[in-house]
Amino acid sequence: MLAYDDKRNFYRMMVNSPCQVQMVDSPSSQQISAVCRDISATGMSLELESPSVEVGGLMEITIETNGEQIPSLVAKAKVVRCDAETDSSCLVGVEINEMN
């Protein structure tokens, strides 16, 4: 029998990189500081400095790089999961819709 991780189409890469998240469909379009915990070809796991975000919400995620040889990653994604971590942070799973 296959384990849960063996059923994935794409494996996750642990990155633990700081990033900026902007809620696209929010009237305030606020920037939220976050940490990208892992990324795959179709999704990401983010730890946000926000108590919660709405499942189904759209966001733009930017991960800056340290050098000029590698461009920054900018992705548009949909929130598919949001689990509270503390009173002021949450762990969010997103499905990537577009990546630049």
- pLDDT, tens only, 17-31: 999 999 998 777 778
Please give the average per-residue pLDDT across 85-100, as a whole number: 94
pLDDT band at 2 (very low <50, low <70, confident <90, very high): very low
Per-residue pLDDT, 29:
72
Mean pLDDT, range 30-46, rounded to an integer: 93
What secondary structure does DSSP assign to 9-77, as a single string? SS--EEEEEEEEEEETTSTT--EEEEEEEEE-SSEEEEEESSS---TT-EEEEEE--SSSSSPPEEEEE
pLDDT band at 49 (very low <50, low <70, confident <90, very high): very high
Range with lowest mean pLDDT among 16-20, 26-30, 45-49, 83-87: 26-30
Which residues fall within 8 angstroms of residue 52, CB to CB, at 6 or more apart?
Answer: 82, 84, 90
Residue 8 pLDDT greater than 70, yes or no: no
